[in-house]
Structure 1
Amino acid sequence: MSTPPNQPEHPSGPPTEPAGTPIPAPASDTPSAPEPAQPLSLRKTPEPTPAPAPETQPEPTPAPAPAPQPAPAPAFAPPAPVPPAPSFGAPAAPVPPGGAWGAHPGNPWGTPPPATTNGLAVAALILGIAAVLIGLIPFIFWAGALLAVVGIGIGIGALVRASKGAGRKSMAVTGTVLAVLGLGSSVGGLFLTSLVVTNVADHKLREGWEVPDDIGGSRPPVPRFSPKPMPSPSPSPTQVPGITSPLPFGETYTYPNGIKVTLSAPKKYVTKNKYSTVGNAVEFTLTITNDSTETHNVIYAVPNVRDGKGMTAKLAFDGGDVPKMIRGDILPGESASGILAYEVPEGTDHLSADISPGIRLPSAKFSGSIG
């Protein structure tokens, strides 16, 4: 038995059956006869080629479920409170419910806590005390008056702040009251200053010093070696007609400084206004003459008139005709006149009057019957 030469290790095609091998019948429903035994062969039986595995379709990936959407915020929802920033090295303080300022639905932003201090009250108290003390000191009383004015303003501000819950209300009230008293003490300091100046001037006169006219000015008093002759005593008040005893109407009283005042005799007043309500009245003419060397100022020189029973007569106002008062400056050598009317009771035949032509001049007195 011989081996065929050059047999391939792996045949490329299907194995060929030897000649004379019967072809098997196709499969059917009838059972087939058993196949006859195959003859022995020295050829290697080819390994069956595995059938390709069916392609598997990838399973479809399920679609992800949609993420839940947050509920829409209400249109007027209050903003969430912002916690305070923690300081370095210290734990953050807990925020109370409703925020640091107590926010609530009616007031989402909250209300800041009221101030607990009132420094204006302390300042008003200090200024009030200083104004009272400094106002009583001569020559610097004006500083107390300034402190009092400032203290009143600050005290009012402290009272307003205290009414809003700032506290120290009693201190603010005390400071304001002391500041008002400081104004009064400043007035007292003014009187003390004038009293000191007067006493100093009298003392220097008694010691033989010549005191200049501008007391308190920059020129110092000049000493003299002989006593200054004292002026002759002025006549007693009982000896001055027109001051202690009245002058007749129409005469003139002359003051030591050269100012002259004349009050004419009263006469019946006749109105020119048909709508006048003036009753029985008398008319006076007042004349002031300046024979001094300085300008004389008059501020509404109005006589005081009384009837024979001592009752004060009423000044009549008659539509611009009367009264015509004297006011303003009268130059040296000039005169000024005015017309005044007074209502008197029916049957009055005697009147008295007094008139001061200036602030520093005493009143001149006149009397007489109605002409």
Structure 2
Amino acid sequence: MSRPTPPSPQWPQSTPGAFPGAPGQTPYPASPAPAAAARNGLGVAALVLGILGFLSSPIPFVFWVGAILGLLALIFGLKGRGRVRRAEATNKGVATTGAVLGALALVLSVVGGVLTYKVATEVVKDISASADSAKALAPRDSAVYEDGLTLTVSAPVAYTPGSAATGHKPGDKAYQVTLVLENARKKAFDTGDIGVKAWVGAKDTPAGKIVDGKSGAVGEGFTGTVGPGRTVTVQVAFDTPPAAKTLTVELDPGLTYGRTRWDLPL
């Protein structure tokens, strides 16, 4: 007689997605995916650049740096706010502050530019006034510069321009002046850098320069290069009103030398 087959054991079924465990144990739920990190870099950069731009924009001579920083802050701030709207960043206030400071920096850079212009203008006026207030030399006095360059202006002598001369007005008087340049430097000097001006009375009454080729090269001034240890002499002539009492001649060898004046009685 055959024996009955015993029933097979029944195990509990595991819940899909649950952590498998022993029979009868409550399964753990699946872990959620980690949230994406906030992209707050643009907002922070906008704030830093905005502060730097705001502080540097009104400063003369560096206002352009503030303008560049302000423009970058404005761009980064607006882009940072865009990330906030797309839920990619969380620092809306920081980005907004950076954009506002950037815009203010751009406005203040205009003020800085105006201040730079005014400061530069005042500096130029002060330099000109200082040069104009320097004591004028007398005829045949020499201006000796530290590097060995020497300039001398002679006393004026009456001059009769030729028929082909230019720069002389009928009824005016003409005077010829001799200019001497001595180069005791160790290197050549380019005389093309020398500026020659003259006026009578007030500085705003210039004396006309006469160019006359009848005897030598009167009126052409300095030309060419003077070697070390060499001396060059040129003749210049000026047109003056008949009642003029003093002819002022100014020589400017270049920016590094400074201008020198001679007051020449007529």
TM bracket (short chain): 0.3 to 0.5
The structure with the largest helix share of the pair is 2
The structure with the largest strand share of the pair is 2
When normalised by structure 2's length, the TM-score is 0.44
Higher RCO (CA 8 Å, separation ≥ 6 residues):
2
When normalised by structure 1's length, the TM-score is 0.33
